[in-house]
Structure 1
Amino acid sequence: MAANVPALTFVVLFLPFMGAVFAPVLTRRFGDKAAWLLALAPFLAFLHFCGFLSEVAAGEVVTGGYAWAPSFNLSFSWFLDGLSLTFALLITGIGTLIVIYSGGYMKGHPDQGRFLSFILLFMGAMLGLVVSDSFLMLFVYWELTSITSFLLIGFDHGREKARRAALQALVVTGGGGLCLLAGLVFLWNITGVTQLSLLVHTEDGLRESPFYLATLLLVLGGAFTKSAQFPFHFWLPNAMEAPTPVSAYLHSATMVKAGVYLLMRLNPVMGATPAWEILLPFFGGITLIAGTFLALRQVDMKLMLAYTTMASLGLLVMLTGFGAPHAVEAAVLYLVAHSLFKGGFFMVVGTVDHEAGDRNVTQLRGLRSAMPITFAAAMLCALSMGGLPLFFGFLAKEEIYAALAAGNPRAVFFTGLAVIGNALMFAVAFAIAIRPFFGPPSANPKSAHEGPVALWLGPAVLAVLGLFGALFSGLAHRYVSSPMASAVSGEKVMIDITTVPHIGMPLVLSVITIGLGAFVFWRLDDARALMVRVLENLGPGPDLGFDHFVSGLVRLSVAITRFVQPGRLEVYITATFILLALTLLVPLVVFDELPGMPAWPENILVQEGAFLLIALIGIVAVLRAKDRLTAIVSLGIQGFAVAVIFLLFGAPDLSFTQFMVETLSVVILALVMTRLRLSPADHRPRRQLLFDACVAVACGLGFGLLLLKSVEAPFDNLLTDFFNAYSKVIAHGANVVNVIIVDFRGTDTLGEIAVVMVTGLAVLALIRVRAAKVTVSQEEEGR
């Protein structure tokens, strides 16, 4: 690589973010034409990544980055192989078309600039996610995609449904992100590496670890929530409350595939285990069938596409974990095909809604003559989604059946799931491509006509790419499919499937799929009515369960808050000291670290014993005090006694500090008590007094035992020697104690000063509030 490529890649990764910064300004200046200017950011990034195609196709990887925190082995680094490069091309290529499409779709919207800024922010987050090499960088971008998708789904924040959908997506994917963070920490501790490019060289160490299953479950928690796998699938259809460009980009071509990307990335090091090959096909298969059945029920074309997207994600997860030959190749082909036809399909539906004013597939008719380009794009997308010859979707479907079809019961079962799922997606695809465009024209809310070039350019390009990708499959496999499959498999893979049908079981299964799909399309209304009845009998699904979960969580939080924060200071203090006592005593007892009984000193000085006795007298005086003011003054007795003991044992600095603290404490507390006019009597019942005494004794005993255990260890003078050697040299101070406080522990001292200052301000506020109340009370009495 050229020397400037790493620096250029660094700039390219931030191009979408820079576009997001300028989007509002350019939109105010140029209106909807600003989208064409902003599309240059992802387009330039697309061209940059195209420059790596030959290098990656030759089996090489492109790495780069910068040290972030070298002492913690953290870096801002990227890693481009067949998998990440393909995703980068999809994100930037489709992203270019989406930005242009957004300019036409959001034309005249007062917040168009904000919308384009959000789209570009998400694009930058997703791009950073798929090229990330370091674990930390991956997680940061992972969470950033959740945040930006929250902004996009809730873009129309005036509608309650949009706000609910955005919050639901954030909660589900954010919770999965926390699982992923824990999984990455496990990976770090098991393998000792923090970069994905190094993780693939750890061989079987991860699989053989006793923490493999825990790591796998945590990673699956992140991947399944992001890619809408059952039972976390409900957020994806609800996210269709977002404007259609968001649906076309986030929820078909990019964000929802982040989980699939993660599973594909980890397949070489976590795959080929029983847990992997059981969990992924099982949940992927359920998601596939559930998505297609739910899609049949819908009449809103966006929801039909949303549920088939969920089904397609399930199919990808099932293939990634199936473990059979050609399963990875099938997943790779289907991922690319799905991104093309589903992104185009969503934009078609958005154009129909924008120009005809409706998305109901049962109401729209006769749009073919009014919207010929949109119809052509819809038909090409349907042909690819249906898996018909001459389209990239056909290559994917043939490879799927080649991977799944076998004689064992497991293969037969999952092959059946794939046939049913693909057939139902065939029916949904042609329902959207045919029903709104054929038949006598219907009375639409708007006078339908072909949209501007910004609306039909995106779906037309993606639909044509689905055709050309299959016709020129040799080039597509050489530069995209084979390098991607090699990265997912962890070994060299060559894909050579073409559009020429091969006689065999895959072709037979394709014919069965098309026949079953055509039959369901013919009886689509009956199939929809059947699914409505079935789902009504099944009762509410996980979407309603999410509402119950959130409401229950809120009630639980309120109950816990009321219990632990009742608004009484004495409860807070008591809880704090109980926790302190447990923290001190439990480890000493559980780990058998209790100290031995210290020997009584033989030659104790009279003055030392006298001041110990004075300290004990001070404690007795505190306990016997009749009012709080006397107790405060008595408390100072033992404080001064301890200060003298420090002085006798050769710590004058510490003694002086103790004198100052005790003096100020007694004076300040006495002044506060007199101003607040607190009741002098202690109304605590005997039971409460006994409980408080036990807590106090436990805390004192804990501190005493901890100090005795500390002094049992041999004295380590390492710090003493350090401070003696460097206080004069570094801090230029002869007084070692002062140097430690002011220089070596300067930040700590600053924090202590800040605490004292805040406490003083709080005391001042209390006094003023009390004084104000007294004044108001006196005025009321005067009236």
Structure 2
Amino acid sequence: MITLFCLLLPLLAAVVASPLTRKFGHNSAWILALAPACSFFYFASHLPEIANGEVVTGGYAWVPSLNLSFSWFIDGLSLTFALLITGIGTLIVLYAGGYMKGHPQQGRFFAFILLFMGSMLGVVVSDSFLMLFVYWELTSITSFLLIGFDHTREAARRSALQALVITGGGGLLLLAGLLFLWNISGITQLSLLIHGGDLVRESPFYLAALLLILGGCFTKSAQFPFHAWLPNAMEAPTPVSAYLHSATMVKAGVYLLMRLNPVLGQTPAWEILLPFFGGITLIVGTFLSLRQTDLKLMLAYTTMASLGLLVMLTGFDTEHAISAAVLYLVAHSLFKGALFMVAGIVDHEAGTRDVTRLGGLRSAMPITFGAALLAALSMGGLPLFFGFLAKEEIYYALAGGNPRAILFTAVAVVGNALMFAIAFAVALKPFLGKPVKTPKHAHEGPVLLWLGPVVLAGLGLLAGLFSSTAHRFISSPMASAIEDKPVQVTMSTVPHLGVPLLLSVVTVALGALVFWRLAQARLLMTKFIDALGPGPDRAFDAFIAGLVKFSAAVTRFVQPGRMDVYVTATFVLVAVTLLVPPIVYGELPALPAWPADVMLHEWVFLAIAAIGVVAVLTASNRLTAIVALGIQGFAVAVLFLLFGAPDLSFTQFMVETLSVVILALVMARLRLMPSDHRPLLQRLGDGTVAVACGLGFMLLLLKATQGTFNNSLTEFFNAYSKVIAHGANVVNVIIVDFRGTDTLGEIAVVMITGLAILALIRIRTGSSTLKPRDNDPDAPEGEGA
């Protein structure tokens, strides 16, 4: 029960965020931050037992017959994510209190960020497929609200829509993938599925399930070519960038890949697709970051690159690669969250994020500079910091003598070197050098602003200094959960001579060189990328424009605004539905034998029905055709009466009488032209559709009557009509009691139809008569249909 309360606590805080902000202003951040803080301390209390290999499970059955439940599963992987979400979330709420101070919609922002926090927390602790998917989509919806928070700006609206379309589309792929896994294994809980990897991998549907799951994960974690939404999401306020797009939402796809590693991993497809797309994303992200001058965009593209590195490592699926992914994920959340907040502080206090217009802020913002430097040292992978452990483990996992190892090691070295350069460009360029005049008088921000980056950057250093403790409670349990077997992470901050250290030295040297020549590198990369032409961002715009045009064309085709087209299409579909299945599957009924004892009066009524059909077809005007149409209904009603169904016969008489009267009144009121002006070709087409529908219903009824009659319902109604409903007339009891709701619905349909007819005949357009439509050849002057 406590776990459920802690899962819902951010959502409950979102409900009261606006009232609290109206009452306490930006100081409400201290109150609202208590919600994620309480959840953080609760999850932290499970660290010892999770470190000992235990798990925390719980939940409630929702639809037991379908094996659907609201359940949670907390192991080393989900616990680490839960701590990052709630811990960093607490600092982000405080940061937003200072950053959004004075904003008229600060309460709404707090509500959105807390809703997202609760949604992301649900993703990482969900055990059931249903719960996972619901929370997954909630993160897309809440991120849409946060990215488009400043909805008066077109750029913000476009970015929010782009993120929703890409991640929402990926969510549909994920849903299909989860359904495949359910179909393959019969399991709807992740805690059980991770032990059934062999069953999934041996299934002929494995590849389909893998591709669908990867589609959901790649879109959420901004893998190439689905990455365009991530840098564009920097249109959101900086607290959103620091939280959603560095530490939480963008890692949801990485989380799910890690969670499903025991299920989908250890196959050639897994070990080819993930390193391939991850490696491309790493290189593309770092190249694109070099050309940027906006601090947030520089960090956004390196975030994209870091996500590619995580996916690449997860795809290698070795013990050291998984350990490297674990270390880097935690380190990245700490240093990137801190650097994003630093970028926000610089923008908030200096008035610009353009690195070329900044400099000399160290004396004006010493605390911010200190936090930025510590975070950059960790991002650069220098000793004593947790980022150094991650980088060393990455090279230890990738380095090898085969071509594949050499290729991906080179990719990692280039990617890490460029991220080193960007890290120090963000941390040093705005603060060192000669002071530059900025749009605002730069000064140190309030405690609400610098508290978050200081804490996160400091944790990056402390985690590196006390690495054994961090490994015991965080790294090793997380790696064990991903591998589904005990794993001990032992990497320390003490450099070890060997290939990993050599590669680290190469990385730092290359990164320092790029940082030294950053302006030239930026110019070179700009020319190179411009030469490649438009990228996925432009492709998204083209896709949306094409989709809109296609939708408009389809709408014009299926909704032309003509009733005759709608009616014809409806009856064509009815005919196809009735005729195609029995013909394709060989289920046509046998032709009935002609009865030898047809009485004279029965012949008479059959002849009357046939005469009615001829009268309808040869009628000189519509009113005559309507009256003649009732002849068949009355003839059928008499046949019902002759064969012992007086109730049904009486109903048929009433329906036919009312139909003829109402239609005659309506048609007379509308005063349609007396003749049918349809061309011969259209008459033949309409006649064909009508015959096909009649033939289809005839075949259906014949097939139904030729089947074995099941009289269980007859016996039930005969036995219980008087006992339960206290009625001797079985038919009346069925209609009024056993099918009372259906009857009520039928009455409602008749009433709605009557109201529509009444509205139609009461239409007035300036006078008591209706004006003709331009395209209605049957309407005389001054009147129309």
State the TM-score bracket (shorter-chain normalisation).
over 0.9
Number of the residue aligned with 1:81: 75
Matched, 1:39 2:37: no
> After the TM superposition, which of the residue ranges 441-450 and 503-512 deviates more from structure 2?
503-512
How far residue 357 of structure 1 moved from its aligned partner, in angstroms, is: 0.6
How far residue 645 of structure 1 moved from its aligned partner, in angstroms, is: 2.0
Matched, 1:582 2:576: yes
Give the one of 667, 680, 686 matched to 1:673: 667
Task: Report the Cα distance in structure 2 between the residues aligned to 1:202 and 1:674, rounded to whole angstroms.
Answer: 72
* 1:37-64 deviation line (CA, Å, top 9, x unaligned): 0011111111111121112111111111
Question: What is the DSSP-based 3-state SS (H/G/I as helix, E as strand, rest coil) of the residue aligned with 1:188?
Answer: helix
Query: Residue type matched to 1:95 in 2?
Result: G
How far residue 712 of structure 1 moved from its aligned partner, in angstroms, is: 2.5
Q: What aligned pairs does 1:347-366 form with structure 2 within 5 A after superposition? A: 347-366=341-360
Contact 2:331-2:460 within 8 A present in 1 as well: yes
Q: What aligned pairs does 1:357-756 form with structure 2 within 5 A after superposition? A: 357-756=351-750
Q: What aligned pairs does 1:296-375 form with structure 2 within 5 A after superposition? A: 296-375=290-369
How far residue 638 of structure 1 moved from its aligned partner, in angstroms, is: 0.7
How far residue 303 of structure 1 moved from its aligned partner, in angstroms, is: 0.2
> After the TM superposition, which of the residue ranges 514-523 and 726-735 deviates more from structure 2?
726-735
Task: Report the Cα distance in structure 2 between the residues aligned to 1:308 and 1:681, rounded to whole angstroms.
Answer: 75
Structure 1 runs not aligned, ≥5 long: 1-6
> After the TM superposition, which of the residue ranges 639-648 and 302-311 deviates more from structure 2?
639-648
Query: Residue type matched to 2:359 in 1?
Result: R
How far residue 615 of structure 1 moved from its aligned partner, in angstroms, is: 1.8
Question: What is the DSSP-based 3-state SS (H/G/I as helix, E as strand, rest coil) of the residue aligned with 2:389?
Answer: helix
Task: Report the Cα distance in structure 2 between the residues aligned to 1:66 and 1:135, rounded to whole angstroms.
Answer: 14
How far residue 66 of structure 1 moved from its aligned partner, in angstroms, is: 1.2
Number of the residue aligned with 2:15: 21
How far residue 598 of structure 1 moved from its aligned partner, in angstroms, is: 1.6
Query: Residue type matched to 1:682 in 2?
Result: D
How far residue 484 of structure 1 moved from its aligned partner, in angstroms, is: 0.9
> After the TM superposition, which of the residue ranges 644-653 and 592-601 deviates more from structure 2?
644-653
Matched, 1:248 2:224: no
Aligned length, in residue pairs: 774
Number of the residue aligned with 2:155: 161
How far residue 747 of structure 1 moved from its aligned partner, in angstroms, is: 3.2
How far residue 472 of structure 1 moved from its aligned partner, in angstroms, is: 1.2
How far residue 710 of structure 1 moved from its aligned partner, in angstroms, is: 2.1
Task: Report the Cα distance in structure 2 between the residues aligned to 1:736 and 1:476, rounded to whole angstroms.
Answer: 76
Query: Residue type matched to 2:22 in 1?
Result: R
> After the TM superposition, which of the residue ranges 695-704 and 427-436 deviates more from structure 2?
695-704
Task: Report the Cα distance in structure 1 between the residues aligned to 2:183 and 2:375, rounded to whole angstroms.
Answer: 46
Contact 1:173-1:225 within 8 A present in 2 as well: yes
Question: What is the DSSP-based 3-state SS (H/G/I as helix, E as strand, rest coil) of the residue aligned with 1:68?
Answer: strand
How far residue 558 of structure 1 moved from its aligned partner, in angstroms, is: 0.7
Contact 2:352-2:439 within 8 A present in 1 as well: yes
Query: Residue type matched to 2:145 in 1?
Result: L
Task: Report the Cα distance in structure 2 between the residues aligned to 1:203 and 1:534, rounded to whole angstroms.
Answer: 44
Number of the residue aligned with 1:3: none
Contact 1:35-1:102 within 8 A present in 2 as well: yes
Task: Report the Cα distance in structure 1 between the residues aligned to 2:738 and 2:63, rounded to whole angstroms.
Answer: 23
Task: Report the Cα distance in structure 2 between the residues aligned to 1:752 and 1:21, rounded to whole angstroms.
Answer: 42
Matched, 1:227 2:221: yes
Contact 1:180-1:222 within 8 A present in 2 as well: yes
Contact 2:338-2:454 within 8 A present in 1 as well: yes
Give the one of 187, 195, 211 matched to 2:181: 187
Number of the residue aligned with 2:91: 97
Task: Report the Cα distance in structure 2 between the residues aligned to 1:8 and 1:325, rounded to whole angstroms.
Answer: 34
Task: Report the Cα distance in structure 2 between the residues aligned to 1:726 and 1:86, rounded to whole angstroms.
Answer: 61
Number of the residue aligned with 1:131: 125
How far residue 728 of structure 1 moved from its aligned partner, in angstroms, is: 3.9
Give the one of 253, 262, 267 matched to 1:268: 262
How far residue 777 of structure 1 moved from its aligned partner, in angstroms, is: 7.6
Contact 2:195-2:262 within 8 A present in 1 as well: no
Query: Residue type matched to 1:463 in 2?
Result: A
Relative to structure 1, the CA distance from residue 347 to residue 648 in structure 2 (aligned partners, 3 Å threshold; closer, same or farther) is same
Relative to structure 1, the CA distance from residue 498 to residue 727 in structure 2 (aligned partners, 3 Å threshold; closer, same or farther) is farther
Query: Residue type matched to 2:667 in 1?
Result: M
Question: What is the DSSP-based 3-state SS (H/G/I as helix, E as strand, rest coil) of the residue aligned with 1:774?
Answer: coil
Contact 1:328-1:485 within 8 A present in 2 as well: yes
Task: Report the Cα distance in structure 1 between the residues aligned to 2:248 and 2:718, rounded to whole angstroms.
Answer: 60
Task: Report the Cα distance in structure 1 between the residues aligned to 2:71 and 2:647, rounded to whole angstroms.
Answer: 51
Question: What is the DSSP-based 3-state SS (H/G/I as helix, E as strand, rest coil) of the residue aligned with 2:561?
Answer: coil
> After the TM superposition, which of the residue ranges 721-730 and 481-490 deviates more from structure 2?
721-730
Number of the residue aligned with 2:284: 290
* 1:35-93 deviation line (CA, Å, top 9, x unaligned): 11001111111111112111211111111111212222211111111111111111111
Task: Report the Cα distance in structure 1 between the residues aligned to 2:719 and 2:336, rounded to whole angstroms.
Answer: 70
How far residue 597 of structure 1 moved from its aligned partner, in angstroms, is: 1.5
Query: Residue type matched to 1:404 in 2?
Result: L
Relative to structure 1, the CA distance from residue 475 to residue 657 in structure 2 (aligned partners, 3 Å threshold; closer, same or farther) is farther
Contact 1:248-1:344 within 8 A present in 2 as well: yes
* 1:716-737 deviation line (CA, Å, top 9, x unaligned): 2233333334434444444333
How far residue 744 of structure 1 moved from its aligned partner, in angstroms, is: 3.2
Relative to structure 1, the CA distance from residue 123 to residue 669 in structure 2 (aligned partners, 3 Å threshold; closer, same or farther) is same
How far residue 707 of structure 1 moved from its aligned partner, in angstroms, is: 1.8
Task: Report the Cα distance in structure 1 between the residues aligned to 2:338 and 2:397, rounded to whole angstroms.
Answer: 27
Number of the residue aligned with 1:150: 144
Number of the residue aligned with 1:4: none
Task: Report the Cα distance in structure 1 between the residues aligned to 2:182 and 2:399, rounded to whole angstroms.
Answer: 38
Structure 2 runs not aligned, ≥5 long: 773-780
Relative to structure 1, the CA distance from residue 653 to residue 206 in structure 2 (aligned partners, 3 Å threshold; closer, same or farther) is farther
Task: Report the Cα distance in structure 1 between the residues aligned to 2:610 and 2:84, rounded to whole angstroms.
Answer: 77
Relative to structure 1, the CA distance from residue 504 to residue 191 in structure 2 (aligned partners, 3 Å threshold; closer, same or farther) is same
Query: Residue type matched to 2:703 in 1?
Result: K
Relative to structure 1, the CA distance from residue 411 to residue 754 in structure 2 (aligned partners, 3 Å threshold; closer, same or farther) is farther
Contact 1:425-1:517 within 8 A present in 2 as well: yes
Contact 1:133-1:195 within 8 A present in 2 as well: yes
Contact 1:676-1:770 within 8 A present in 2 as well: no
Task: Report the Cα distance in structure 1 between the residues aligned to 2:346 and 2:726, rounded to whole angstroms.
Answer: 77
- Structure 1 vs Structure 2 CA RMSD: 1.6
Task: Report the Cα distance in structure 1 between the residues aligned to 2:644 and 2:181, rounded to whole angstroms.
Answer: 52
Task: Report the Cα distance in structure 2 between the residues aligned to 1:473 and 1:388, rounded to whole angstroms.
Answer: 14
State the identity %.
75
Number of the residue aligned with 1:11: 5
How far residue 9 of structure 1 moved from its aligned partner, in angstroms, is: 1.3
Contact 1:324-1:404 within 8 A present in 2 as well: no
Question: What is the DSSP-based 3-state SS (H/G/I as helix, E as strand, rest coil) of the residue aligned with 1:65?
Answer: strand
Task: Report the Cα distance in structure 1 between the residues aligned to 2:240 and 2:724, rounded to whole angstroms.
Answer: 58
Relative to structure 1, the CA distance from residue 191 to residue 352 in structure 2 (aligned partners, 3 Å threshold; closer, same or farther) is same
Task: Report the Cα distance in structure 2 between the residues aligned to 1:595 and 1:129, rounded to whole angstroms.
Answer: 54
Contact 2:763-2:770 within 8 A present in 1 as well: no
How far residue 603 of structure 1 moved from its aligned partner, in angstroms, is: 2.1
How far residue 189 of structure 1 moved from its aligned partner, in angstroms, is: 1.2
Task: Report the Cα distance in structure 1 between the residues aligned to 2:398 and 2:761, rounded to whole angstroms.
Answer: 78
Task: Report the Cα distance in structure 1 between the residues aligned to 2:759 and 2:378, rounded to whole angstroms.
Answer: 72
